[in-house]
Structure 1
Amino acid sequence: MRLPLLLLAIFSSANAASHSTASPRLTVTAPRRPLASLQKEELPTKIPAALGLETLIQQRGGASTATTTTMTQESAGLPSAVKLLIGAGGIYAAFLYYGSLQEDVFRYTAKDGTQFSQAWLLQVIESLANVLIGFVGMQLAGATAGIPKKAFAISGASQVSAKACMSLALANGLSFPLATLAKSGKMAPVMFGSLILGGASYSLREYLQVAAIIGGTAIVSMGKKKGGSSSALGVAYIIASLVLDGVTAGFQKKLKADTAKAGVKPKPYDFMFWTNFYMCLTAIVISLGLNEVASGLSFCTANPEIFSKIIKFALCSAVGQSFIFYTIANFDPLVLSTVTTTRKIFSVLLSIFLKGHSLSLTGWSGIALACGGIVSELVASSGGKGKVH
């Protein structure tokens, strides 16, 4: 438990130190982020959703006995309600603020009218923060030997590409509420890929859940009162992000199979470190190829306000993932899923109320339909109550 609490203290201090330069709107972002991606968001992911949330949930089989025992022993004296408050509160705090900062980064306009558009440089900074925290956690929990790195490399590359496309969608005019709702429909490409390639079958309820999320998102897009329709390029990027989510899910399954075949059980911080290590390498190569490093750093130097937002954005990602691991170690996957899933809904509502988005009655009906699909997916996954280990 020490690492999540230490990270929260460090993050709070950093946020307080930069309070004088933060926009008034950011200071009101008090709610705490429920369960994503990978992240996601979420986790990371969505989890996830950094380390995708799908990876974290799939690997719960993934939280090794050693890590679970270590983290549980450290907090053994705490009541389960306090553990839940620490885990869920940390996730809410980090990832709700994470979403707010991500929106602010791509809505920021410099005095000369230019905006930050270097999505791959943003991924370099975010994944680097997660690499550092993952390394510290790995040293505390003990690293796992013999991990097959190739599977991590492929999974990390596809995952960072999905995250970059989400940022590029925001940079190209797609609103944050709409992008977040659309990303909640990531089950659609996963289902499609499984149907075509894996011969899977799904129930009518599962098809209706996906249809509700996608349909609600489309209605929200048409129900804006102001600001016009979303850009075609922004929509194209969010679709690409969803497709890459489906690809990532396939690679994550292969990652799990490869580690099992190698006879190793990576611990949570192993996953955090190695996934983000290859995400960072991928982002560095692409950002250098697109010349985003020089232009992005130049923009940040000329606009220090946005640079502080980017640093806090990266810290939120790393702190949030640490609390995700804490929650995994102490509770059943349903608890984590509940937190990250409801986070998506709160992130959308907070953005609407705090960032000046305006919706018509049609838009609100779309919000309700999409949120209904998200909640339905959560309820359907509930095989029983989450319990403390």
Structure 2
Amino acid sequence: MRFLLFLLTIISSANAATNAPPSLVPRRSFASLHKKHPKNTPIATDVFAPDEVTHDYYLKRNSDILQHRGGTMTQEPPGLPSAVKLLIGAGGIYAAFLYYGSLQEDVFRYTAADGTQFKQAWLLQVLEALANVLIGFVGMQLTGATKGIPKKAFAISGASQVTAKACMSLALANGLSFPLATLAKSGKMAPVMFGSLLLGGASYTPREYLQVAAIIGGTAIVSMGKKKGGSSSILGVAYIIMSLVLDGVTAGFQKQLKSETSKAGVKPKPYDFMFWTNLYMCITAIVISVGLNEVGSGLAFCTANPEIFIKIIKFALCSAVGQSFIFYTISNFDPLVLSTVTTTRKIFSVILSIVLKGHALSLMGWSGIALACSGIVSELIASTGGKGKTH
């Protein structure tokens, strides 16, 4: 209950800051922000979550709007009240992605009557990306498509993102529990920080190092607090590490995407971004799934087990609906609001999985959950406090 009150307080504060009169909002020049975040330095933020289309591009667009309006983010008065918009956006993200996570876990925990399980992670990515392509296409027709978009940058970014997501699914398919995989993915700022230190000459505060250490350490404790799962669990850990590395690689590709669109003088709209990114994700997944012969075997498994196919369809639809709510929230609120919602959603996903899916944890396991969640919440508190990062 205290955590829920804390969450509501953060969202309300962020929303209040978003709608506050200019005289009440601290003005920070875009130049000062640029000084804190050099052009070529990746920033360890929650901008490429595995179950959400990357919205770093739109956070940058909001920063441009902030600069244009003299340093304050304001809301347009017409339409629904801000409280109702927040309820729609945050409620939609929570509902879609909490159910999304539950369905993803169900897909890879399902066991057929003959003892076989669904292992075709790339086929799952094909179906998920296809659902997002369809929704993105419809949205693009309604809002108007942007001409002159550089497709190559979207192709590279899409291929990287779908591979990271596939590795997450492969980790689950190879014995890694959903709570453990989700906590591990929450530490994706670690490879970004590592790459920034080596290649970008970045520097981070002691608090940021402690946040990453808490998430990684907590995840390790949870792993040690569970019964050993043998070689399959080891393979699952290997896949989640690959997914984390690809998250760091994706960050670099996304910077190229922003650079290419800027050079071309175009600003893709939300559904442009959703359509083109997922189109190339889908193409990449199709090529790999065909190459691995997952299409035939996967469809045969789904035909023999209609129950699992229904779950997969729901899973893909949740992804598409959730992404639409993400874009809705980005277009109506400060980036802090979206960061708050997506970050806390991960914590709720872990807790719901433990409670509803029957994951047995020892006292050590629960202490690891608490440590990892404290790192996630600490990162959220730091961003809520408005303290800039030192890079």
The alignment's TM-score, normalised by the length of structure 1, stands at 0.82
What secondary structure is seen at the aligned counterpart in 2 of 1:134?
Answer: helix
Aligned to 1:25: none
Secondary structure of the residue aligned to 1:52 is: coil
Alignment-derived partner of residue 348 in structure 1: 350
Distance 1:261 1:366 in 2: 46
Alignment correspondent of 1:233? 235
The residue type equivalent to 2:85 in the other structure is K
**Segment drifting more, 140-149 vs 244-253:** 140-149
**Greater shift in the superposed pair: 337-346 or 53-62:** 53-62
Within a 5 Å distance, the mapping from 1:1-389 to structure 2 comes to: 45-46=48-49, 48-49=50-51, 51-61=53-63, 76-224=78-226, 231-382=233-384
Amino acid aligned to 1:210: V
Counterpart-to-counterpart distance in 1, 2:58 and 2:369: 27
In structure 1, distance between residues paired with 2:129 and 2:65:
21
1:381 alignment partner, SS class: helix
Provide, for residues 337-373 of structure 1, a one-character-per-residue CA deviation record: whole Å limited to 9, x for no partner.
Answer: 0000000000000000000001111111110110010
C-alpha displacement of 1:204:
1.1
How far apart in 2 are the matches of 1:123 and 1:351? 22
- Cα offset, 1:295, TM superposition: 0.4
Asked if 2 retains the 8 angstrom alpha-carbon contact of 1:218 and 1:366, the reply is: yes
Task: Count how many residue pairs are aligned between Structure 1 and Structure 2.
Answer: 337
Partner Cα distance (2:373, 2:291) in 1: 39
The 1:61/1:127 distance shift into structure 2, 3 A limit, reads farther
CA contact (8 A) 1:144 1:267 kept: yes
Kindly state the Cα deviation for residue 199 of structure 1 after the two structures are TM-superposed.
1.5
Q: Tell me how far apart the structure 1 counterparts of residues 148 and 102 of structure 2 sit (CA, whole Å).
A: 39
- Relative to structure 1, is the Cα distance of residues 314 and 299 closer, same or farther in structure 2, using a 3 angstrom cutoff? same
Tell me by how many angstroms 1:81 deviates: 0.9
**5+ residue gaps in structure 2?**
1-9, 12-45, 69-74
Specify the SS of the correspondent of 1:231.
helix
Q: Secondary structure at the match of 2:377?
A: helix
Q: Partners of 1:63 and 1:129 in 2: how far apart?
A: 31
Which segments of 5 or more consecutive residues in structure 1 lack a partner in the other structure? 1-33, 36-41, 66-71
Q: 1:104 to 1:296 in 2, by over 3 A?
A: same
Partner letter of residue 318 of structure 2? C
State the distance in 1 between where 2:380 and 2:265 align.
Answer: 32
- SS of 1:201 mapped into structure 2: coil
Distance across 2 between alignment mates of 1:334 and 1:161: 27
> Whole-Å Cα distance in 2 between the matches of residues 124 and 55 of structure 1?
24
Q: Describe the SS at the equivalent of 2:384.
A: coil
Which letter maps to 1:342? T
Measured at CA, do residues 230 and 381 of structure 1 come closer, stay the same or move farther in structure 2, by a change above 3 Å? farther
- CA change 1:302–1:59 in 2 (3 A) is farther
**What's the offset of the Cα at 1:63?**
9.0
**1:229 CA displacement:** 9.1
Q: Amino acid of the residue matched to residue 127 of structure 1?
A: A
CA shift for structure 1 position 57: 3.6
Q: What secondary structure does 1:112 align onto?
A: coil
Partners of 2:93 and 2:322 within 8 A in 1: yes
C-alpha separation in 1, matches of 2:232 and 2:378? 27
Question: Match of 1:220, as an amino acid?
Answer: V
Distance 1:369 1:53 in 2: 27
Give the CA deviation at 1:76: 3.0
Shift of 1:226: 8.1
Cα deviation for residue 382 of structure 1 reads 2.2
Q: Which amino acid aligns with 2:374?
A: G
Q: Partner letter of residue 164 of structure 2?
A: A
* Pair 1:229–1:60, CA change in 2 (3 A): farther
Task: Indicate the larger mover: 219-228 or 347-356.
Answer: 219-228
Letter in 2 for 1:52: T
d(CA) in 2 for partners of 1:63, 1:151: 23
Taking only the aligned residue pairs, the percentage that are identical comes to: 83
Deviations 1:103-151 (A, max 9, x none): 0000000000000000000000000000010111111111111111111
* TM-score of the pair, normalised by structure 2: 0.82
One-letter amino acid of the counterpart of residue 330, structure 2: I
SS at match of 1:273: helix
Query: How far apart are the structure 2 equivalents of 1:363 and 1:259?
Result: 45
Task: After superposing the two structures, state which structure 1 stretch, 173-182 or 373-382, moved more.
Answer: 373-382
Partner in structure 2 of residue 14 of structure 1: none
Over the residues paired in the alignment, what is the CA RMSD in angstroms?
Answer: 2.4
